[in-house]
Chains A and B, each alone.
Chain A
Amino acid sequence: MEESTDPIKLLDLPGQVLDKVVEVLTKVGIDLPALILQLFLLVLVLLVLNITIRPLLPGWQNAKLLPLLGAGGLGLIAIGILFGIASQATLPDRLIGRVAGQELTGARVDLLDLRHEAISTGGAVDTDTGEFIVFYSPAWNGRARMLRISSPSCKAREQAIAPGRLARGSESTWEFPCEKP
């Protein structure tokens, strides 16, 4: 499923920037759940904002444009982080769907976060119908980014999760063509 290019997705921009920040932090060994990192960044941004805005307040009409723009930018980033935290907190804490494949004996699904780590519980796949339900905590771990399908007789397959597939009431089908390991 393709990611939407709707202009409203611009609201996700701070979230995407945050993803990049998390990616960089993970690479340098700071490996924390999404919420902790978001709160850490929010505090950091608010501190810098505070430092930037304090000298401007007494005579803000006479302030130079650049510091004002900087403060405005930091404010937007803080709002973006808050928006990200709020939007992931409102996501459903489960993903219901169906795996379409020929080898479903012992198959299971796991949700992966941005760090590529499993963040879900449940996830066993019905051997006949391929139906599954998998749980996670989007408020704590952030939005699930990948779905990994594994079975003892096939190579595990990972697929990116478009945000629409995590929406409430969404029950999508995930292809699992069996490649022998």
Chain B
Amino acid sequence: MGVSLREAMKHLILAILCAVISTGAAAAAPLVNGTVTARNGTPLADVQVQVEIRTVQTLPPSDSQGHFQFDAATLFPAGELRDADGRLMLKFSKPGFHPVNKQVRFTEGRSPSPVIIQLDPISGSGSIPATEKEALKQFTAAPGSTPLFLIPYSFTGIQASDPKHVNERLRANLERVIVTHLQAAGVSGSQAVSMKLLPLEQVNDIERLRTYGTYLNALGMISGYGAVETAPGGSRSLGVSSTFLVVPQAEPLVGAPVLYVDDEVPADSVTSPRLYKYLSKLWGRSTVLALGVNDYRLALSTHDKQAFARIRKYLHAERAGAGPGDEALVSQLNLLISAVDRELAK
């Protein structure tokens, strides 16, 4: 009887110890850290960060690298932290950007992985419906990459059973001709330029196109439509009308949207060499301009004279190759070259 009583006592003490330890672990507060950036990857300083359980606690704003961190135990009483049920709501806000709330989960007092938050400018992706955002999330470009996005063209008169297949061929051909153009123009990093087909319906509204582009951190957005027409003589031709939107903005250099709409392009099919010969010039040059704006923006943040010189070189080469019909493009190239020259003269 004495032995069993001792055993029972041992079990009781063990059970109490376990209960005390587990209560302590649940109450143990996590260390949370993370980074706030703009959609294009630029770190955002002075972002107001708040943490909410029952009450809201305000942290020091994010530093120049967009970093923030806190120890939940110093912010909340133990009781409130236990009530959190392993969830903390982080609230981020900065003037000019849409606020973001992010629920962070932690278990058994373990700190969660670093939190990465991207804020959208007020004119950015705020108006993209959540369902589309979800569908587009997988396409969002990582900082440093330079993707072009093709919104499926709507074609009429094409005997194609699968419009998606036609657009995929269009995408593959355009990617090839653009990369070829960039290599010929001697633009470094041209290998990194890729084109992706987005699962969206045709977008004709430029501001909407820009909204998608900003959300996706795109270099450029391409959208358009085409139609096969049969002439009275029976010959068929394909007219394609395209929009190329340069997404990166380097205020105040390019304040207004940079937009190129091509003319009707005579060709007989989506795979016509004539079509791609024309488009390679148009879109290749537009891509060089987009890369120029993007590189200029990055060089401004690092004050890199060598980068400005490199940009100037390939912009000059592109301008030299421009011909009739490229007036709008040349005008934008001139604006960019002037801005680069000003930076080089400083």
- Give A contacts to B, CB under 8 Å: 93-94, 96, 101-107, 121-122, 124-133, 135
On whether A122 and B130 interact (CB within 8 A), knowing A94-B83, A133-B87, A133-B89, the answer reads: no
On whether A126 and B89 interact (CB within 8 A), knowing A93-B83, A121-B54, the answer reads: yes
Let me know if B34 is at the binding interface, CB within 8 A.
no
Residues of B within 8 A of A130 (CB): 130
Residues of B within 8 A of A132 (CB): 89, 103
On whether A104 and B55 interact (CB within 8 A), knowing A93-B83, A94-B85, A127-B100, the answer reads: no
Let me know if B183 is at the binding interface, CB within 8 A.
no
Distance A104 CA – B100 CA, assembled complex (angstroms): 9
Residues of B within 8 A of A105 (CB): 98-100, 126
Distance A116 CA – B88 CA, assembled complex (angstroms): 27
Distance A126 CA – B133 CA, assembled complex (angstroms): 14
Residues of A within 8 A of B126 (CB): 105
Distance A132 CA – B89 CA, assembled complex (angstroms): 8
| B99 and A106 form a contact (CB under 8 A) | yes
Residues of A within 8 A of B53 (CB): 122, 135
B32 to chain A, nearest CB (A): 15
Residues of A within 8 A of B98 (CB): 105-106
Distance A124 CA – B91 CA, assembled complex (angstroms): 8
| B103 and A129 form a contact (CB under 8 A) | yes
A112 to chain B, nearest CB (A): 17
| Contact count A vs B, C-beta below 8 Å | 56
Residues of B within 8 A of A129 (CB): 103
Shortest Cβ distance from B103 into A: residue: A126
Interface of B (DSSP majority class): mixed
Shortest Cβ distance from A136 into B: residue: B54
| B129 and A102 form a contact (CB under 8 A) | yes
Number of interface residues of B (CB under 8 A): 21
Distance A117 CA – B31 CA, assembled complex (angstroms): 36
| B101 and A124 form a contact (CB under 8 A) | yes
| B89 and A102 form a contact (CB under 8 A) | no
Residues of A within 8 A of B87 (CB): 96, 131, 133
- 21 intermolecular pairs with C-beta atoms under 8 Å apart: A93-B83, A94-B83, A101-B130, A102-B131, A103-B129, A105-B99, A105-B126, A106-B98, A106-B99, A106-B101, A107-B101, A121-B55, A127-B100, A127-B101, A128-B102, A128-B133, A131-B87, A132-B89, A133-B103, A135-B53, A135-B54
Let me know if B52 is at the binding interface, CB within 8 A.
yes
Contact with A along B90-106 (1 / 0, CB 8 A): 01000000111111000
Q: In the complex, which residues 132-188 of chain B have their Cβ closer than 8 Å to any Cβ of chain A?
A: 133
Q: Which residue of A93, A122, A131 is within 8 Å of B52 (Cβ)?
A: A122
Question: Other CB < 8 Å A-B pairs besides A94-B85, A102-B129, A103-B130, 13 of them?
Answer: A94-B83, A106-B101, A107-B101, A121-B55, A122-B52, A122-B54, A124-B91, A125-B101, A126-B89, A126-B103, A128-B102, A132-B103, A133-B103
Residues of A within 8 A of B55 (CB): 121
B100 to chain A, nearest CB (A): 5
